[in-house]
Amino acid sequence: MAKKPSAPAAPAKASRTSATTAAKAAARNTDSGPAQGAVDGDEDPALQKAVQTESAAQSLAFNATKAAEHGAANGLNPPPGATASFPSRLPTASTLSESQTNDKTGTQAPEGRNATISSLDRVRVDSLGQPLTTNQGVRIADNQNSLKAGTRGPVLLEDFILRDKLTHFDHERIPERIVHARGSAAHGYFEAYEALPALTKAAPFREAGKRTPVFVRFSTVAGERGSKDTARDVRGFAVKFYTDEGNWDLVGNNMPVFFIQDAMKFPDLVHAVKPEPHHGMPQAASAHDTFWDFVSLMPESTHMLMWVMSDRAIPRSYATMQGFGVHTYRMVNEAGESVFVKFHWSPKAGTHSLVWDEAVKISGADPDFHRRDLWERIESGAFPEYELGLQVFTEEEAARFSFDVLDATKIVPEELVPVRPVGRLVLDRNPDNFFAETEQVAFCTANIIPGLDFSNDPLLAGRIHSYVDTQISRLGGPNFHEIPINSPIAPVHNNQRDGMHRQAIHRGRVAYEPNSLGGGCPFQAGAAQGFTSVAARLQAREDQAKVRAKPELFAEHYNQARLFYESQTPPEQAHIAAAFRFELSKVTVPAIRERMVASLRNASEELAARVAEGLNMPLPEPMPLAIGKPPKPEVRTSPALSLTARPGDGSIAGRKVVILVADGVAGQTVSTVHASLFEQGAVPRYAATRIGPVATSDGVAIQADVSLENEPGFLFDALALPDGDEAIDALHRDAHVFEFIRDQFRHCKPILALGQGVRLLEAAGLGPALSPVPAPGIHLATTAEEGVRALIADLGGPRHFDRETDPPRV
């Protein structure tokens, strides 16, 4: 007789099955759940997600870091956030259906990675061999005609292809930057010379030879996007470091100081220098009433005015322009110790400028002069290179200076704190698309990384806020950091969501911290890995109460203006005086001129007298000082402030030389000059009355690649005149030739005359400059070898300002 099964077994098994079924059913609901946690024991994905989520939530029973949010000691050393681990990826999924894939959805999000963050290869487009499509990917059969009701009928509203094309076109432009609107940019890298562990833990300085990708944008400040490159203006020098710890933006200028001390005055400054609002003039110029009215009432601007009126304001090229961080920043090491630092970029090719007459002429012939130069240098392999130098000093050293290091109108003279070279910047790749990269790049002084921090500079504080504010307006919303040129190469994980033009598609339902449903992720990194601000501040210079005031030393406005002027060579001082004379002559209100000259008397009696004489006005009384007893400056002159102290390495790479040619020219001679210059990295060009083949006297084939009318002589760094009587006679008949010669001479550039080429110099009125010996920079040679050696040696050095006259005689 068969034995009957025990009675209780079936109910127990049924109970377990019922509980599992109930748990599986509950796991499929999104708005409520059982009182008890889910029961494990089944491979059902929804159930497993519920079980593992419950386990993680239980393991994070309370906020373990909450107690560490309080107290100064904890504030200096925050702990990393608490996290939980999961046996699978199910709990953190947005949806269980992520296993379903197709050509659009792709697969699951890569674990622990933001796939939108990688090289620009992810967004580059090449349409070679591809048909035209709409923005929705529909292939376009006819790109020539709108859809009409008959060949002569009206265009139909249903033409979605026309609307797709025109709608995008109508919205292609974005608001331009309020300042720094006109810019040029390039990709490259920063390479550290050595590790700097004693100074900073910042990623670019972690080891010798480490290369950090960069994107650098140069710009004018006052002009609009379509203005000229060669305006007298400050130049932006902004470097975005794509470090492995996030983006660091060193947003500086080609001058180490600024017009104002507090960001409260920045809108006033920009409104004053921009075109006057009643008639919208002048464009990209400070030579007008409102600017000089403002700065003449702001004596703190005097030091900056010396720089802006100097040759620094009209650089020869971006490749021969210094850059500065302007503000005092902090560097912080692993131990949390900080020092003050100022940043300097020094071009390998030296710091060189244009002369005013040359800049004015270039702006008419080629308003893209600097943009074109930067592009062509990189395309030809003459990569611009700069050295990064640091001025490092302690808070105690800063307290002993006769000026306040938080004052952006002051420099720290190199005689007080030498500049220490720490790395080099090389620009070696032009952008693929100007709008996508150069125009959409967004720099911000707030973008720093562990190992760097801010000082209490009040102008810097305003910049930290203002840049982000303008970028939200320009670039369409808060997600401008996702535009490819702005995105970092370091991982990006946070709880920011939504907003206009969001690109990232985040996995999971958690968008807050602290959390347990996402295992506590993303979690705060803690002091050991994350960014922490320097807590210690120098108390000797800082009031404890909240006040709207400046430190007392900010009231000293003229010592460093005097230092800059007296550190210049006589030709540079003459240029500063001439610049003040020109700018103030454009002012229509005499009282503003008088006020400005009165201010200059406090900086330099000599300069004020020269400017007053140039304006044909009596010397006014000095402007009253804002400080009763000015501190005695430590440094009276600083040779490093003169451009002549920064000639560069003598390289002529990227320099442009024009060689005049005509039928009958001695072909072998000019060909030798051309080849020798090109071998040294220069860009030589043959110029004739017309482009095309030139019949040489010796049968050497030469093609003129520019004409004397389409490339004026002032666009070139040097001039070579050919040998050959017939060619000289032909060139003598073209008046452009004498403009070439006179501009080269007047702009103090090198001139080479080969053999009979000297006749052209004499015909141009330079006879007195040739006798009894040629003036500096004029080279007369009988052989090409002799002449090109002299030209190359000269071209790599400073200009010959000793042949300059005011007013010009040639």
Nearest to 674 by CA among 690, 661, 662: 661
Helix/strand number for the chain, H first, E second: 20, 18
Residue with tokens 């810097």: 460
CB 192 within 8 A of CB 208: yes
- Cα separation, 662 vs 729, in Å, equals 9
Among candidate residues 650, 687, 667, 653, the one with its CA nearest the CA of residue 350: 650
Q: How far apart are CA 368 and CA 230, in angstroms?
A: 8
**Where in 211-333 does DSSP place strands (E)?**
211-220, 235-243, 246-253, 323-324, 329-332
770 φ/ψ sector (left φ>0, alpha ψ -120 to 50, else beta): alpha
Alpha carbon distance 488, 245 (integer Å): 9
Active site residue 501: no
Among 253, 430, 479, 486, the active-site one is 253
Q: Could you tell me the strand order of the sheet in which 718-721 lies?
A: 706-707, 683-688, 656-660, 718-721, 751-754, 778-781
443 closest CA partner among 249, 266, 263: 249
CA dist., res. 462 & res. 261, Å (int): 11
Kindly state the tokens that stand for 809: 């005689």
C-beta atoms surrounding 786 within 10 Å: 14
CB 475 within 8 A of CB 42: no
Token reading at 597: 């000259």
Q: Tokens for 16, please give them.
A: 């377990």
Please count the other Cβ atoms lying within 10 Å of the Cβ belonging to residue 486.
Answer: 23
**Coil, helix or strand for 707?**
strand
C-alpha 236/C-alpha 326 separation (Å) is 11
Helix axes 570-585, 590-601, angle to 10 degrees: 150
Cβ neighbours around 795 below 10 Å, total: 23
Tell me the two tokens of residue 267: 């809108």
- In the chain, the largest separation of any two C-alpha atoms, in whole Å, equals 141
**Separation of alpha carbons 254 and 371, rounded Å:** 16
Q: What angle do CA 285, 290, 294 make, to 5 degrees?
A: 110
Distance separating alpha carbons of residues 94 and 639, to the nearest angstrom: 64
Question: Among residues 180, 370, 481, 747, which one is catalytic?
Answer: 180
Whether 180 is catalytic is: yes
Residue of 401, 413, 420 lying closest to 331 (CA atoms): 420
225 CB burial (10 A radius; 0-12, 13-18, 19+): middle
Q: Where is 693: in which H helix or E strand?
A: strand 692-694
Contact at 8 Å (CB) between 187 and 429? yes
| Residue 13, token pair as written in the block | 């098994």
Cis geometry, peptide bond prior to residue 551 (ω within 30 degrees of 0): no
Lookup: tokens for 155: 């265009």
d(C-alpha 772, C-alpha 769), whole Å:
8
Indicate the angle between helix axes 266-273 and 458-474, nearest 10 degrees.
60
* CA 262 from centre of chain: 22
Ordered DSSP codes for 395-416: HHHHHTSSS-TT-TT----TTT
CB 243 within 8 A of CB 203: yes
Provide the residue type at 735 as one letter: A
Six-digit token pair at 178? 């309020």
Q: Which residues are catalytic?
A: 180, 253
